[in-house]
Amino acid sequence: MSEKFDEATQKELASFVEAEQAQARMHQSIHTLTSMCWDKCITSTPSTRFARGEENCLANCVERFLDTSLFMVKKIEEQRSRMLQ
């Protein structure tokens, strides 16, 4: 493996690694979201249906989590673009 890759292969590998890292971040976010919202909203013993209010709680929790995540990404992108100027 001491051979060096050509530039095209290096770019392809970098692109692949970046895509895999993005997918891993997405999976981590889904795991965090699931765990957090489940612990917050599911208060009864699991059965075939959610208890009254649990479904709405889950929907609201997911929406707030996504809103917060998007807000944070936008702020980070703004900071990054200011640094590059």
In CATH, the architecture of 7-84 is Orthogonal Bundle (1.10)
Contacts of residue 41, defined as CB under 8 A and 6 or more positions apart, other chains included, come to 54, 57, 58, 61
Rounded CA-CA distance 23/40 in Å is 26
Q: What ranges do the domains of the chain cover?
A: 7-84
Distance of CA 76 to the CA centre of its chain: 15
Q: Where are the alpha helices (DSSP H) in 1-85?
A: 7-41, 54-84
The yes-or-no verdict on residue 2 having pLDDT over 50 is: no
Q: What is the mean pLDDT of residues 24-52?
A: 86
The yes-or-no verdict on residue 1 having pLDDT over 70 is: no
pLDDT computed for residue 48 by the predictor = 84
